[in-house]
C-alpha cells in the first residue's frame, strides 16, 4: 500500500466518524519552546490548554513534524527519522478512552478491501500506563485482546507530554509483531525492533509543570476537559504495509537513495558504512526540503543552524560516497515529486527552495575544501606529536572561521582515528556567546503560567474594533500585575489590562502595536505595548499616568491618530515593496519576515547575492509608480482554500484562522493574507525611499525603506548633506561625486606612500635588532619588546627580516608588540635552530601564559596574541629560559 493511500484511508476513516479534517500546519509555529513542530497535537495546543475555544469537537490531521535530538542516530538505526508525518485524531472534551481505542482498532484491523489497513489482530500488542486498569479493561472489551498481549510500562514509556510545561497524560501504545526473524519473544518490553510501535493514544487530562510526570512528578493540575490526542506514524505503517525492512526503503524515501546510487556508482545494501550515508542523505533531504519550504533558511542559530547541519550532512555524506558534484537540488527535486501530492506548496515554492539549497551547497563546498585542508593539517600535527585528541581551540577555529559544525569535525576526527576535546570547544563557544550582544528581537512573551489569562479568556475573546474606529467604549475585564490578577492599579504603576473590545492593534504580522491611551472618569493610562495571548486576547501593557483604575469600569480606549497614520503607511508600504520585489526579481523572491512601524519598513526575502544599484532603483521606482497610480486597497474575508485559489500570498511562520483576511492593493497586483491596518488607497502611503539592502543569512536578503513624511525627511537630509559637501568643495552639486572620487584617490596614494615609508623605517631597524641578539648556549636569541601600536602583520614581516639578518647562525627571534590592552607576538627560527629542536610553534606555550595569550604555527614561524601587555617582560625572560632548557636537554 502506497503512502499516499495510507494517508487517504486514515483521513476518510476519521472524517466518516465525524472528525473535521485540519490541514497540516507549518513546521514553524509561534511557540518559544519549540524550534519545529514535533508532534501532531502541537497546532491544537491552545485548545487542550483551554487558552482558546476549539472550533470543532473532533478533528483529524496529517501533520508534518521534525525532531532532531537523535540526528546522530539517523541512518545507524532503521527507526530514526528527522522528518516524519504524524496522522492523528483529536477529541476536545468529546469522546475519551473507549472511543479512541475503538476507532484505532477498527482502522488497523479492518480488511484492506473495506478501507482499513488489514493488520492481523493476532499480531497486535498494546502497552498501558502502570496503573491504568481502565485502559486494560477497554482493550479487552473493544478488541478482545488477551492479558498476555497487554503490558504495563512506567512513565518514561507510557506517559506523554511535550517535554515542556503544557498538556499531557497517560497513554496506550499499539505495537505490531514483525515476527521471530526480527527479535526475541516477549512483547514490546523485551524488543522494540521486533515489536514496532505504530500508534500512540494519549488520554490527555493533565497539565504538567516544570517537572514531568514521565519521571514520577505529579501534574500541577487537570486540563479544563478530558481530551484525546493520538499519533500514528505514517512512515512506520508504510514500511510494514509495503513489506520492506525499514522506513528508508518506503516509496517516498527510496527514490533519493536510488539517485544517490546512480550518482555514486555504489549500491545500497552492500556496505554497512555506505548504507548509513545513503540513509542520511535520504532522510535529511526530506527534512531539509520541508523546512526550507516552510520559510527557514540556513544560518548559525536556532532553526537555521539545524537546517544548515542537515544540509551539510547530506553534502558530506555524498562526498564520502564518491559524489563530487552538487547534489542538493537534484535530491530536492525527488522529494518534491514524492511529497508534492500531500504538500502542494513544495511544488509552487520549488524555485525558491532550489535557490536556497544551491546557495548553501555552493557556500559549503567552498567551506569544506578550506576546512578539510585546515583539519588535515591539524590532525597531522596531533598525530606527529603522538596525541589522539584534537584540541578544543582547533575545533573552535574550524567552527568560527570555516563554518564547520562541531558534529562534522567529530565525524572527520573519528574517520582519522582521533577524538575531539569537546569540553574545550564548548567552553570557547560559551565565551563567544557571552561576548555577543543579546538579540534585540527576542520574544516578548513565552509559554509560562498563563492561568490568569485563561480565566480572562473564559469571559470571551477581545473584540478588535481598530479596522473601523480609533476610539472604542469598553469594559475593563481584568488587571494583571507580575503574572497575578489584581483588582485595581494606581498612578505610577505599570500593569497589564484586558478589555472586552479595543481599537488598539496588537503586535503581529511584523507590525508594531499601536500607541494610545485608555481613559476612565478618574484615570488616564498610557498604552506602552499590546500583545495577543492565545490569538484571542488583547493584553495592553499600560502605565497609569493619573488616578486609579479598577476592574469592571467603563473606559474609552483611544489610538494615537498620528501613530496610526504612520503605521498604516508602513504596513501598506511593506505590501507594495513586496509586490515590486516579486515583479522585478520574480515570484521566488518571497517575503520571509518583516517589521514595520510608522514611517519605516524592513522586509526579509529569499534571494542569493546582493542586489545591484540599478535593481534597487528599479524596485524603488516600481513601488512609487504603484503609489502614484492611487491603487484601491480592499479587504476580503474568506477561507484558506479560496484564498489560495485567488493567489493570495501566505507568509512563512504565520498561523491563520479558518477565516482569513486577504488584503488587496490594486486587485491581483498585491494580494496577501494579512491582519494589519492599511491605507485606503496606495497614494496615502506617500513616497517610498529604499535606504539599504544587506544579507541576514545564507539565501536571505533584507531591504529597508522609509515611507511617508519620514521618506521626505530622509531625502531632505540627503539633499542638505550634498549641498554642504558641495559648498566645502566649491563645486556645483552635480560635480560632487567626481570631486570626492578624485580626493579619495589622492588620499589613497598618500596613504600608500606613508605605508611605504613606515615599512622602510621598520625594516631598517632589523639590523640593529639582530645586533642585540643574546647568546644562549650558542643560540642567538632576539627577544624584544617593540614600540606601541605596530600592527601584527608588520611584526611578522620584521621578525622574518631579523631572522634573515642572523644568516647561518642558530637563531630564535621573538617580538612582542603592545597595543592598548592587547599584545601580538611572533616567533621565528632559523634552519640551524630548528636542527637543534627549537621549533617556533613549540616555543609559544612556554611564554604565552605570561601575556594571557595563545597562539601557534609551524616550526619556522608562529604567532599569536594576548590580553596582558604587562607580562611582556616576563614573556621575554621565558623565551630565553625555554631556549636554554631545550638546548641543555639535547
Known binding residues for Zn(2+): 571, 575, 674, 678
Identify which of 214, 58, 33, 32 has the alpha carbon closest to the alpha carbon of residue 44: 58
Is the Cα dihedral 794, 800, 806, 807 positive or negative? negative
Q: How far apart are CA 700 and CA 296, in angstroms?
A: 9
Q: Would you say 655 and 605 are in contact if contact means Cβ atoms under 8 Å apart?
A: no
Q: How far apart are CA 13 and CA 604, in angstroms?
A: 42
Q: Beta strands 124-129 and 150-153: pairing type?
A: parallel
Residue 412: φ, ψ to 5°: -65, -40
Q: How far apart are CA 617 and CA 690, in angstroms?
A: 8
Cα atoms in the 13 Å half-sphere on the side-chain side of 334: 21
Q: Exposure of 549 by Cβ count < 10 A (0-12 exposed, 13-18 middle, 19+ buried)?
A: buried
Q: Would you say 54 and 204 are in contact if contact means Cβ atoms under 8 Å apart?
A: no
DSSP letters of 611-656?
PPHHHHHHHHHHHHHHHHTT-BEEEEEEEHHHHHHHTPBPPTT---
Angle between helices 422-435 and 406-415 (to 10 degrees): 160
CB neighbour list of residue 70: distance below 8 Å, 6 or more residues apart: 80, 82
Residue 248: φ, ψ to 5°: -75, -15
Q: How far apart are CA 300 and CA 306, in angstroms?
A: 8
Count of Cβ atoms closer than 10 Å to residue 889 Cβ: 7
DSSP letters of 754-792?
HHHHHHHHHHHTHHHHHHTPEEETTEEEEEEEPPTT--H
Q: How far is CA 738 from CA 315, 696, 746, 752, in A?
A: 48, 32, 13, 21
Q: How far apart are CA 247 and CA 240, in angstroms?
A: 9
Q: How far apart are CA 7 and CA 92, in angstroms?
A: 22
Q: Would you say 875 and 847 are in contact if contact means Cβ atoms under 8 Å apart?
A: yes
Residue 537: φ, ψ to 5°: -115, 120
Q: Beta strands 861-866 and 853-857: pairing type?
A: antiparallel
Q: Would you say 203 and 96 are in contact if contact means Cβ atoms under 8 Å apart?
A: yes
- What SS3 state is found at 432? helix
- What SS3 state is found at 160? strand
Exposure string for 70-79, b = 16+ CB within 10 A, e = fewer: ebeebbeebb
CB neighbour list of residue 380: distance below 8 Å, 6 or more residues apart: none
Count of Cβ atoms closer than 10 Å to residue 722 Cβ: 14
Rg, the chain, Cα only: 33
**Residue 58's Cα: distance from chain center in Å?**
33
Q: How far apart are CA 827 and CA 835, in angstroms?
A: 16
Q: Residues forming the annotated binding site?
A: 571, 575, 674, 678
Q: How far apart are CA 678 and CA 174, in angstroms?
A: 52
DSSP annotation of 294: T
Cell numbers at residue 339, please? 511529497
Amino acid at each position: 500500500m502506497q503512502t499516499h493511500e495510507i494517508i487517504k484511508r486514515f483521513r476518510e476513516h476519521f472524517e466518516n466518524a465525524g472528525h473535521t479534517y485540519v490541514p497540516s500546519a507549518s513546521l514553524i509555529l509561534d511557540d518559544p519552546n519549540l524550534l519545529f513542530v514535533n508532534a501532531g497535537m502541537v497546532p491544537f495546543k491552545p485548545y487542550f490548554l483551554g487558552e482558546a475555544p476549539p472550533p470543532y469537537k473532533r478533528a483529524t490531521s496529517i501533520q508534518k513534524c521534525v525532531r532532531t535530538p537523535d540526528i546522530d542516530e539517523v541512518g545507524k538505526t532503521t527507526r530514526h527519522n528527522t522528518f516524519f508525518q504524524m496522522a492523528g485524531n483529536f477529541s476536545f472534551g468529546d469522546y475519551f478512552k473507549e472511543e479512541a481505542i475503538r476507532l484505532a482498532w477498527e482502522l488497523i484491523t479492518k480488511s484492506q478491501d473495506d478501507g482499513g489497513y488489514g493488520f492481523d489482530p493476532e499480531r497486535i500488542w498494546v502497552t498501558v500506563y502502570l496503573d491504568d486498569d481502565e485502559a486494560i479493561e477497554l482493550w479487552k472489551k473493544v478488541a478482545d485482546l488477551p492479558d498476555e498481549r497487554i503490558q504495563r510500562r512506567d512513565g518514561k514509556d507510557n506517559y506523554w507530554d511535550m517535554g515542556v510545561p503544557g498538556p499531557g497524560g497517560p497513554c496506550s501504545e499499539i505495537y505490531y509483531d514483525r515476527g521471530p526473524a526480527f527479535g526475541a519473544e516477549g512483547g514490546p518490553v523485551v524488543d522494540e525492533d521486533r515489536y514496532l510501535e505504530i500508534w500512540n493514544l494519549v488520554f490527555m487530562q493533565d497539565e504538567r509543570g516544570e517537572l514531568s510526570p514521565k519521571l514520577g512528578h505529579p501534574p500541577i493540575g487537570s486540563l479544563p476537559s478530558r481530551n484525546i490526542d493520538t499519533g500514528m506514524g505514517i512512515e512506520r505503517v508504510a514500511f510494514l504495509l509495503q513489506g520492506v525492512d525499514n522506513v528508508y526503503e518506503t516509496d517516498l524515501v527510496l527514490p533519493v537513495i536510488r539517485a544517490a546510487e546512480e550518482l555514486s556508482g555504489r549500491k545500497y545494501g552492500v556496505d554497512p558504512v555506505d548504507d548509513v550515508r545513503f540513509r542520511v542523505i535520504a532522510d535529511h533531504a526530506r527534512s531539509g526540503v520541508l523546512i526550507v519550504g516552510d520559510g527557514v533558511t540556513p544560518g548559525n542559530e536556532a532553526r537555521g543552524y539545524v537546517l544548515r547541519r542537515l544540509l551539510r550532512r547530506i553534502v558530506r555524506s555524498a562526498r564520502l560516497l564518491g559524489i563530487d558534484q552538487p547534489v542538493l537540488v537534484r535530491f530536492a527535486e525527488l522529494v518534491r515529486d514524492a511529497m508534492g501530492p500531500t504538500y502542494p506548496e513544495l511544488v509552487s515554492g520549488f524555485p525558491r527552495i532550489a535557490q536556497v539549497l544551491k546557495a548553501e551547497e555552493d557556500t559549503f563546498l567552498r567551506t569544506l575544501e578550506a576546512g578539510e585542508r585546515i583539519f588535515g593539517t591539524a590532525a597531522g600535527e596531533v598525530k606527529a606529536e603522538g596525541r589522539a585528541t584534537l584540541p578544543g581551540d582547533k575545533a573552535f577555529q574550524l567552527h568560527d572561521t570555516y563554518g564547520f559544525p562541531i558534529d562534522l569535525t567529530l565525524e572527520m576526527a573519528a574517520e582519522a582515528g582521533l577524538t575531539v576535546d569537546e569540553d574545550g570547544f564548548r567552553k570557547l563557544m560559551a565565551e563567544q556567546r557571552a561576548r555577543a550582544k543579546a538579540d534585540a528581537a527576542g520574544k516578548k512573551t513565552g509559554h509560562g503560567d498563563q492561568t490568569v489569562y485563561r480565566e480572562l479568556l473564559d469571559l470571551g475573546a477581545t473584540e478588535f474594533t481598530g479596522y473601523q474606529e480609533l476610539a472604542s467604549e469598553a469594559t475593563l475585564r481584568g488587571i494583571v500585575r507580575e503574572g497575578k490578577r489584581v483588582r485595581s492599579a494606581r498612578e505610577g504603576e505599570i500593569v497589564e489590562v484586558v478589555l472586552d473590545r479595543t481599537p488598539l492593534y496588537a503586535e503581529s504580522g511584523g507590525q508594531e502595536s499601536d500607541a494610545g491611551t485608555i481613559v476612565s472618569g478618574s484615570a488616564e493610562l498610557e498604552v506602552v505595548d499590546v500583545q495577543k495571548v492565545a490569538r484571542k486576547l488583547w493584553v495592553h501593557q499600560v502605565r497609569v499616568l493619573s488616578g486609579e483604575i479598577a476592574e469592571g469600569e467603563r473606559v474609552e480606549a483611544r489610538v494615537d491618530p498620528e501613530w496610526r497614520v504612520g503605521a498604516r503607511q508602513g504596513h501598506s508600504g511593506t505590501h507594495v515593496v513586496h509586490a515590486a520585489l516579486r515583479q522585478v526579481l520574480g515570484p521566488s523572491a518571497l517575503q520571509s519576515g518583516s517589521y514595520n512601524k510608522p514611517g519605516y519598513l524592513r522586509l526579509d526575502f529569499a534571494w542569493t547575492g546582493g542586489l545591484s544599484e540599478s535593481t534597487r532603483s528599479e524596485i524603488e521606482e516600481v513601488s512609487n509608480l504603484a503609489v502614484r497610480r492611487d491603487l484601491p486597497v480592499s479587504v476580503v474575508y474568506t477561507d484558506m482554500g479560496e484564498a489560495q485559489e485567488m493567489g493570495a500570498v501566505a507568509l512563512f511562520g504565520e498561523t491563520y484562522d479558518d477565516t482569513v483576511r486577504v488584503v488587496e492593493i490594486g486587485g491581483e497586483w498585491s494580494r496577501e493574507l494579512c491582519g494589519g491596518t492599511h491605507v485606503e488607497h496606495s497614494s496615502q502611503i506617500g513616497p517610498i525611499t529604499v535606504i539599504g539592502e544587506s544579507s541576514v543569512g545564507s539565501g536571505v536578503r533584507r531591504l529597508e525603506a522609509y515611507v511617508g513624511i519620514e521618506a521626505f525627511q530622509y531625502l531632505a537630509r540627503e539633499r542638505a548633506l550634498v549641498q554642504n559637501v558641495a559648498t566645502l568643495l566649491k563645486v556645483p552639486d552635480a560635480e560632487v561625486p567626481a570631486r570626492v572620487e578624485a580626493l579619495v584617490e589622492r588620499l589613497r596614494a598618500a596613504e600608500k606612500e606613508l605605508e611605504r615609508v613606515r615599512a622602510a623605517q621598520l625594516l631598517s631597524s632589523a639590523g640593529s635588532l639582530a645586533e642585540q641578539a643574546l647568546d644562549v648556549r650558542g643560540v642567538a636569541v632576539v627577544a624584544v619588546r617593540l614600540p606601541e601600536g605596530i600592527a601584527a602583520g608588520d611584526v611578522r614581516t620584521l621578525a622574518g627580516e631579523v631572522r634573515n639578518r642572523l644568516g647561518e647562525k642558530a637563531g630564535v627571534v621573538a617580538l612582542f608588540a603592545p597595543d592598548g590592552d592587547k599584545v601580538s607576538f611572533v616567533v621565528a627560527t632559523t634552519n640551524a635552530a630548528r636542527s637543534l629542536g627549537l621549533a617556533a610553534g613549540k616555543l609559544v606555550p612556554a611564554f604565552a601564559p605570561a601575556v594571557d595569550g595563545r597562539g601557534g604555527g609551524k616550526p619556522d614561524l608562529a604567532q599569536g596574541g594576548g590580553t596582558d601587555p604587562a607580562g611582556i617582560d616576563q614573556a621575554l625572560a621565558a623565551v630565553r629560559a625555554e631556549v636554554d632548557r631545550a638546548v641543555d636537554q639535547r
